[in-house]
Structure 1
Amino acid sequence: MDTNRLAKELREIQSDTKSGVTVEVLGDNLAHMQGTLKGPEESPYEGGKFYVDIQLTNSYPFEAPKMRFITKVWHPNVSSANGAICLDILKDQWSPALSIKTAMLSLQALLSTPEPNDPQDAVVARQYLDSYEEFVKHAKEWTAKYASENRKDEKEEKLKEMGFGEAAVRNALSRAAGDEQQALELLLTGL
């Protein structure tokens, strides 16, 4: 992994205050980050704040970052079960000329322009194609429930009160599928 390039990429993301995209390194492991993106205006995700788990291999930038949504999102190209993302640049269309920032901006654009004919979640894609109004309603409900900036998650708050950072707490809860006790064990063991 090219740490000089990575440091430059992170500085560039930090200096950009207009895109609605941020990235923070989790702990002291440059290979594990958490990204944040704002839901695009005039989309069912408007007003939402979405968290993305980002993991890099030693082959980065020659290999795409592994990304998945931590925040639950109702979208044809995102698994409603585990946050897996279907996006060509995260697979076969990745190029070393791309960056974490371009990947995050592509995720933000994907929220505005779903590709229901190449879905990650077939149920959501079917709803999008067959009953668009229902899809929009469902996506807005999930955005309000899971991505609202004002939302307070009791499990998150309890773990943060114990002294753990917000990014670490969100990541642990995501990895533990919402199980508070298991998330606490992950936080305590540093896994």
Structure 2
Amino acid sequence: MTEAMLIWDTPLLFEKLFKEHDIKCQRIVSDSIGTPFIPPCKCVVIPTGFANKAYTKILPGIERNAKSLEKFVRSGGNLMVFGPMVPEYKYNWLPMELEYKQEQQVTTICMAQDHEAQCLVEDTCSEVEFDGYFSKTDGEVVFRSDEGKPLMVVKELGEGRIIATTIHEFPSGRFLKWINDTAKKSKL
């Protein structure tokens, strides 16, 4: 039984992280979203660099399948999206307002508000690397840079949620378990 789907077109180190935390993960290409061959899952992860053609070719499939991703979240799934790694980007395929500007830096993150998703980072007192920030959002800002720029947002939608971050580090095991445990199995 698959619990998490990782949308990417080549093997990633990210896959090993799920295995280390006993979460059954399956990597799929974006063109297979919405097909009857994909089993239901609890969370979908779109890694850093999804919009950069130097890293992957998954963006057209994600954009074409925007309605399937929205239905997945509304039905109780958790969708985790990292930074696109391009100079500027508007997440038109997400059912929320979200715009990104690339700016690679290191910061001490600031908690904008208390939220369960803050377990993304194991030690919120240490410095983290980020690849950009959200210049516009209608989601709840969870983390900001020390300059006040939004680095992580959460948007509740139906029975699920969209979690977007520009923090350029692997999520903690506690976070992976949280996005899995707080979601309902949904069809992608």
More helix by share: 1
Q: How high is the TM-score relative to the length of structure 2?
A: 0.26
More strand by share: 2
Q: How high is the TM-score relative to the length of structure 1?
A: 0.26
The answer to which structure, 1 or 2, has the higher relative contact order (CA under 8 A, 6+ apart) is 2
Which structure is larger by alpha-carbon Rg, 1 or 2? Answer: 1
